[in-house]
Amino acid sequence: MRFHIHLLPTYFPELGGFDAFYKQTLEQVALAEELGWECFWFTEHHFLLYGGPMPNPAVIMSAAAARTSRIHLGSAISILPLHHPLQIAEDYAMVDVLSGGRLEFGVGLGNTALDFQAYGISRDESRPRFEEAAEAVISAWSNDPATHEGQFWSFENVSVLPRTVQQPHPRMWVAGHSPESLGWAGRHGLNIMTVSHPYPADHYKPGLAAWREGLVGLGLNPGVDRNCKLHVRTWVDEDGERARKVAEVGIKRYDNIASVGRPGRLPHGDDYDYDDMLATGRNVYGTPEQCIKLMQNTIRNYDFDIFSTTFNFGGIPHAEILKAMRLFAKEVMPAFQ
């Protein structure tokens, strides 16, 4: 089992200002490198306390690159339909150069209507914009100069600088859950990322089958040549009851803040089945021994080869996050390595 770590940020002003939020995030990245995680992922969101303080992952990834030397740095995701592909190619090329070739470039359609409204982009165009932008970014990185003629963007004989360290381009990942999104990723030979808590495992099976079929059609081996990362909210404590209390309060606060300003997302209700979420591996929390058993539930139910932990969720204090990361690295990760 390979381990990544994921920050899908929720910002609570009462815990400190934006300066503290960024400082603590960078401390968590540095500790993740020290403890042996392979990659730290940052998420793009806008305008809301659910992720909004991190509108451009490339900025904080560049800061993280300057503070680390080994851990890979990933965007999970860059919302391609919102941006000109040349701007994305330039921003993330800088991350790849500053990190010495450690960029993992994750992309997706975006999942918040407000982003599209504020940027003045029809959400009905999100998929064709995403597909065109992804291909344009790949072209800009792989060709010097690059030319692209599309429905939404066009450019001719443009040299994107700096050139990426990874050639012909950095490793790319697609976030999604539908056969349309994951199948597109497979047909383009890309890695994928999924999330355990929004959907049960069966929901992902058609998409994963489409991804695998696409890779095989290119002569690529899923799990060897390309990877599937699963993001799981994780918490560990020497005291199982304390772990349960901290995690369940954090999960409720996370799910509630994720519903604010996002029509169609329901607040976390009293009918939330914590036990079933543990039994099916959709959340993982407890003592180290309990976490090992619960992760085995995740392995039985979900199809993935990289387990991406999230400790920073729902306003859990920074000092507690660092403590949980250390305990997980010491007591849980070795059981799967």
The series of mean pLDDT values per 10 residues for the chain, 337 residues long, is: 93 92 97 98 95 94 98 98 98 98 97 94 97 98 98 98 98 97 98 96 97 98 97 98 98 93 82 96 98 98 97 96 98 96
pLDDT for res 51: 87
pLDDT for res 66: 97
pLDDT tens, residue by residue, 145-185: 999 999 999 999 999 999 999 999 999 999 999 999 999 99
Domain total in the chain: 1
3-state secondary structure string, 145-187? CEEEECCCCEEEEECCCCCCCCCCCCEEEEECCCHHHHHHHHH
State CA 112 to chain mean position distance.
15
pLDDT tens, residue by residue, 8-48: 888 999 889 999 999 999 999 999 999 999 999 999 999 99
- What range defines the domain where residue 160 resides? 2-336
pLDDT for res 80: 98
Nearest alpha-carbon partner for 292 in 327, 257, 320: 327
Cβ atoms of 309 and 247 closer than 8 Å? no
pLDDT for res 298: 98
Burial of 149 (0-12, 13-18, 19+ CB in 10 A): exposed
284: CATH: 3.20.20.30
Burial of 37 (0-12, 13-18, 19+ CB in 10 A): buried
pLDDT for res 223: 94
Q: Which two tokens stand for residue 133?
A: 């932008």
Q: Which two tokens stand for residue 65?
A: 């690159």
pLDDT for res 264: 76
